[in-house]
Amino acid sequence: MDRVIAGIEWTAAAFIGLVALDVFVSVTLRYAFGVSIPDSYDFGRMLLAILIFWGIAATSYRGSHITVDLLWSACGDRGKRAIDVFATLVLLFVVAVHSWMLLGKVYSTYLDHVLTYDLHWPTWPFFAVAWAGDVAAVVLIAVRAWNFILGRGAP
């Protein structure tokens, strides 16, 4: 399982690098040479969406997202476990519904033949990669929920 998580984290990191490279090159070319990369804005926003969804997968499994644990820290072991199970199940529900809706967006973008502005590339593959990150999040959150339910705790 650690290899899968590492692969997801590396995927998110690769998209961070691509977004940073896109911004750096675009700004440098614009201000130094007065030229722009065709569809830089479209690629940047779609790569950022991909990064966010793959990042959700990486942070949700480890529970490394931002939390406020005032109530949790005041509870006993049974209360902490109940809060962990409840919170993980709510997160699983929200991300699963989001993933289902994003699949609809991928499909409608494909059917509508939505293209980038300058190069006229189809945008649905970017949406599909973002959806794959969301599916990875659903699977990893389900594993996390299962571990909490069985009493194994957080990974």
Query: How many CA atoms lie within 13 Å of 47's alpha carbon, on the beta-carbon side?
Result: 18
The radius of gyration computed from the CA coordinates of the chain, to the nearest angstrom, equals 19
Please tell me the pTM assigned to this model.
0.86
Residue 43 has pLDDT above 70, yes or no: yes
- The distance of Cα 10 from the centroid of its chain, to the nearest Å, equals 12
Q: Are 140 and 8 spatial neighbours (Cβ–Cβ below 8 Å)?
A: yes
55-112 pLDDT per residue, tens: 888 888 776 666 777 888 888 888 888 888 898 899 999 999 999 999 999 999 999 9
**Burial annotation 120-148 (CB, 10 A radius, 16+ → b, else e):** eeebbebbbbbbbbbbbbbbbbbbbbebb
Whose structure tokens read 């699983």? 92
Residue 125 has pLDDT above 70, yes or no: yes
- pLDDT for 144: 87
133-155 pLDDT per residue, tens: 999 999 999 998 888 888 776 65
